Amino acid sequence: MDHSSSPGPSTADAPFRGQVVLVTGSSSGIGAATAHRFAAAGATVAVNSATSVEAGAALAAELPGATYHQADVSDEDQAGRLVEGVVERHGRLDVLVNNAGTTQVIPHHDLAAAGPEVWRRILDVNVIGTWQVTVAAVPHLRSSGIGQVVNVSSLAGERPTGSSIPYACSKAAVSHMTRLLAGSLGPDIRVNAVAPGLVDTPWTVDWDAVREYVTAQAPLRRTATADDVAEVIFGLARSAYVTGEVVLVDGGLHLR
C-alpha cells in the first residue's frame, strides 16, 4: 500500500509530505538518523541495507509508511532492482540519499596492506555503488519535478586523512562525482554532498585515539553525532538554490 499521500501535518510542518526518499545503507548510523529526519518531515522513507536485515526492517517498522529493501548497491542488478522496487511500491522517487559505504582501517604508511582486493571492495561500494543507484534513479527523479541527490562523502575526500588511503580516495571520487553530476543533471535534478569528519556510529565505537584527537583539535571540541550529519543532509534537501556543493560537517577540524 502506498502511504506517500496519507493524511498528516501541514506542508509547513512537514515540507517533504507526499515525497518519497530512498536512503541507502540506512539500518544504522547516519543512514538511520537521516531516515528518521525525513520521516519526521512527512516523507515516506525507503530503508535499505545489504546485510543487517533485521535492523533495517525494524527501522522501517518505526517510520510511518516506510518500507525496507535489501540490496547490495555494489551489484549493478541489485542497485537497479532497489530503485525499481521503491518506485513500484510507492509510485515515485523524489530524493536519493547515497549513504551506503564501507571502509577498512589501514595505516596510511602500510602500503602493502592496502592491496588491490581492498581497493576493489571499497571502490565497488563507495563509488560504483553510488553511481549505479544514481543512474537507476535519474529517470524517476527527473519525472518527479523536484528530484535531488545527496551523497555522503567524507572529510577524508577533501583532506589527506581518513581510515585508509583507499577509503579516502573513494570519498574524493564521491565528492567530485557530486560536482560533475550537478553540472550534468541540472536544472532538473540537484546534486549535493555532505563530508563528515569523525561521527559517533557503530563503525567508530572503538576509535578512541581518533576521537581524542578530534575533541582536542576541532574548534567545536567534540565529534559529530549521526543526527548532526542528518540535519545537514536534510538542510541541503530543503535548499532549492544549492547544487554541486560538498559541505564539510567536521566541527571545524579542517581549519586545523
The catalytic residues are: 167
Closest Cα partner for 59 from 78, 32, 40?
32
All three cell numbers of 36? 528518521
Q: Rg (Cα) of the chain, in Å, rounded? A: 17
- The dihedrals phi and psi of 192, each to the nearest 5 degrees, come to -135, 175
153 torsion bin: left (phi>0), alpha (psi -120 to 50), beta (else): beta
The 3-state secondary structure of 133-175 reads: HHHHHHHHHHHHCCCEEEEECCHHHCCCCCCCHHHHHHHHHHH
Cβ(85)–Cβ(69) under 8 Å? Answer: yes
Closest Cα partner for 52 from 37, 38, 32?
32
